[in-house]
Structure 1
Amino acid sequence: MGAFLVIVSFPKLVDLHLLPYNIQPDNNLQEKADNHANQTAGITKNVQLNVVSGVTQAVDKVRGAVVGVSNIQSTSFWSDQEQDQEETAGTGSGVIYKKEGGKAYVVTNNHVVEGANKLEVSLADGTKLPAKLRGADIWSDLAVLEIDGKKVKSVAQFGNSDNLKPGEPVIAIGNPLGPTFSGSVTEGIISGLGRTIPVDLNQDGIVDWQAEVIQTDAAINPGNSGGALVNIEGQVIGINSMKIAQQAVEGIGLAIPINSAKPIIDDLEKFGEVKRPYMGVDLKSVNEIPAYYQQEALKLPKDVNYGAAIREVVPNSPAAKAGLRELDVIVEMDGKQIKDVVDLRKYLYNNKKIGDKLKIKFYRNGKLKETTLKLTGESL
């Protein structure tokens, strides 16, 4: 009888708060019981997760500054067509790096904009804007575009590519295969630094330049060119440029180090071209000249099979003023041996500035001579 009275009176005592302690339902127990019941009944419950990592934060920081670039060219399908038609000849990516005076500036690759009649930039939100080419440089494969800055909301921050380490995580952001995959993100690591890739600029089978690039295994596909290679802090440390596309090769993507790109970007934005030192010579590598002509025409000593042979000297140029002539063979600059034309260009562009003096050793008629010239600012 006593137990019956306790059971009947207990709920009333709880409602009147007459007990010396509080009784609260255990919601966790109820949730566990519900989950167990759902699992028993075969019911799947959706769980929402807010995943935040260093990678997602880096992507969020820079993704809005990565844009698409469309190369629009004129085409005519029929010879009697009155007016040429315009169509997109190629697409690539770009990075908004500056917003100033109502304008925004985009860095991309030269090969993305080459041959364009018109250029169009697609912002991350899909807005399309006409773009003006401020300048392009075939040697570095960089170009700078100008767009209206009103709708630009995000600007990328440049990092320091000199501080990169092999194995460091990086993220590639761009538009592989065009607008369908715009803003694609791939992750990888720094596979190598200071890689040197031979480049044939005029497709004549002769190497014109050695591009120094960052190697990464982050997937870089057609359309990624000009996009951002980003560190874990969301800073741009490279401009994606190319990949090695061979059947036996996988995961070798290449990017231009941002520290090498920054002075070129500045020149393209300000002057429309890169201000490089100028000698005023037309050159050919000695190793590309048959041995017979090395001896008969250049009159080089038999143990000298390297250097850059002068084919022509521009009148009143620094080379002409320094006394250099046709058939002279440059073998040394400022004490550094010059093996070929690529070696000469690399030393000149990477180590000298307009107005600098340059000491040259060269062979003329089999005799080693020396001269000094003062570099000016025309194009080599």
Structure 2
Amino acid sequence: MHLWKKTTAALVAAGIMLLSSVLHPGMAAAATKNNSAYTYPQDSVPQVIQGMSPSVVGIAGKLTGGMYTEDRYNLSHGSGVILSKDGWIVTNAHVVDRLSTIQVVTSDGKTYQARSVFSDDVSDIAVVKINAKGLKPAVFAVTSQNAQVGEKVAAIGTPISFSLRNSATVGVVSGLNRSIDSSYRLIQTDTAINPGNSGGPLVNMKGEVIGINSMKFSAIGVENMGFSIPSETVGYVVKQLIQYGEVKRAGLGLSLEESFSAIVGFPSEDPLQVTDVTSLEAIQAGISKGDVLYAINGKRVYSIVDINEMLKLYAPGTKVKLLMQRDGDIVSVPLVLSSGINEPVEDAEWEEEVEV
């Protein structure tokens, strides 16, 4: 009788293990490995976050100017990503602008004072230098254009409170090449991004930073609409900030009006119209108010953002060819690029932009 009970119990236990291994492939094998942290299958998210977290920092400082000066408790904070072992860090310009005595806190709890800060308001990118050695730099994707809409991404940063450093949220890439109140295109994501996440990374499941989190939309009925600055724009700006302390942009020296379709986001083949000529180089090229711009060096442009994205490839003083319409004729106009940035147009008023 006792032998029957033992045999039955053994068979039931074996059956449960077999059923578990069928319902959860790899579970039984994982359970036998004492050195495994999990007893169930995992995707790559925990590993990606663990790998990236040492490269993410918290940034805090006291706000300066106006009513903030006398309030010693009025601190502002954000996030940053380590660029180099010796202490270069990238963050948002709006994180460090108007801050004094900037403190950087690494994931292991060490605190450093910022020694140098270079900021670029146009791109909303800044770099901070601390005196440190042996930091873990993040891996940045060469381009965010290899990302796919719907692919999983994670955001890491310091939301709401500085005590919540290295918090992680997970979502997907919602869209690429978004033109949202910015001089350059942005990545859209539904990953939760809250105040304090600014300057932190948007990370793909390869462990690469594809963007720096910058802003979100906040309004009644609007949910999960965050935006990140693509890695290629980050690289373009960071390189110049570290080298020159500023971004030396090439500009057309023209004020241009976009079509209504381009402004509101409808597909558009409409060109841009010159409303003013603002540089000596453009005047010397014979461009005048009322001319119409179709292309730069053979590539069509439909919006101000299109132009700014293209001009990232050129330095001031470079000669380009503009395809334009003048007095009804299509003409090719040689133009020496001046210094400056083409300003973006205003976006629709229903959306409330919030820097995070």
TM-score, normalised by the number of residues in structure 1 = 0.67
Residues 159, 236 of structure 1: 8 Å contact kept: yes
* Change in 2 beyond 3 A, CA 1:348/1:307: farther
Q: Is it true that 1:112 corresponds to 2:102 in the alignment?
A: no
Q: 3-state DSSP class of the match of 1:94?
A: strand
Query: Please, which runs of 5 or more residues in structure 2 have no aligned partner?
Result: 1-9, 14-34, 261-269, 343-356
1:233 positional shift: 2.8
Which amino acid in structure 1 is aligned with residue 335 of structure 2?
L
1:128 and 1:76 mapped to 2: Cα distance? Answer: 27
* Change in 2 beyond 3 A, CA 1:273/1:221: same
1:169 and 1:163 mapped to 2: Cα distance? Answer: 13
Q: Is it true that 1:358 corresponds to 2:320 in the alignment?
A: yes
Q: Of 117, 125, 128, which residue of structure 2 is paired with 1:142?
A: 125
Q: Is it true that 1:308 corresponds to 2:274 in the alignment?
A: yes
* Change in 2 beyond 3 A, CA 1:116/1:365: farther
1:76 positional shift: 6.0
Matches within 5 A, 1:264-275: 264-275=237-248
1:139 positional shift: 2.4
Residues 253, 337 of structure 2: 8 Å contact kept: no
1:117 positional shift: 3.7
* Change in 2 beyond 3 A, CA 1:127/1:343: closer
Residues 71, 112 of structure 1: 8 Å contact kept: no
Matches within 5 A, 1:89-238: 89-99=75-85, 103-150=86-133, 153-160=135-142, 161-199=144-182, 209=183, 211-238=184-211
Greater C-alpha radius of gyration = 1
Q: Partner residue of 1:321?
A: 284
Structure 1 runs (4+) greater than 6 angstroms displaced? 363-368
Q: Is it true that 1:285 corresponds to 2:275 in the alignment?
A: no
Q: 3-state DSSP class of the match of 2:241?
A: helix
1:285 and 1:177 mapped to 2: Cα distance? Answer: 39
1:158 and 1:164 mapped to 2: Cα distance? Answer: 13
Q: Partner residue of 1:50?
A: 37
Q: 3-state DSSP class of the match of 2:129?
A: strand
Deviations 1:305-356 (A, max 9, x none): 951311x534xx322332345x35342333556556x257436524544443
1:244 and 1:278 mapped to 2: Cα distance? Answer: 29
1:185 positional shift: 0.9
Q: Partner residue of 1:14?
A: none
Q: 3-state DSSP class of the match of 2:185?
A: strand
Which amino acid in structure 2 is aligned with residue 285 of structure 1?
E
Of all paired residues, the percent bearing the same amino acid is 32
Residues 252, 282 of structure 2: 8 Å contact kept: yes
* Change in 2 beyond 3 A, CA 1:368/1:117: farther
**How many residues matched?**
298
Residues 74, 86 of structure 1: 8 Å contact kept: no
1:221 positional shift: 0.6
Per mean C-alpha deviation after superposition, the further-off stretch among 259-268 and 126-135 is 126-135
TM-score, normalised by the number of residues in structure 2 = 0.71
* Change in 2 beyond 3 A, CA 1:359/1:347: farther
* Change in 2 beyond 3 A, CA 1:324/1:93: same
Deviations 1:140-164 (A, max 9, x none): 22111111114x5322112342322
1:254 positional shift: 1.6
Q: 3-state DSSP class of the match of 1:166?
A: coil
1:370 positional shift: 5.0
Which amino acid in structure 2 is aligned with residue 142 of structure 1?
I
Which amino acid in structure 2 is aligned with residue 274 of structure 1?
V
Which amino acid in structure 2 is aligned with residue 247 of structure 1?
I
Residues 292, 326 of structure 2: 8 Å contact kept: no
Deviations 1:190-241 (A, max 9, x none): 2222222234xxxxxxxxx3x4222222211111011011122322121111
1:359 positional shift: 2.3
Q: Partner residue of 1:64?
A: 54
Q: 3-state DSSP class of the match of 1:171?
A: strand
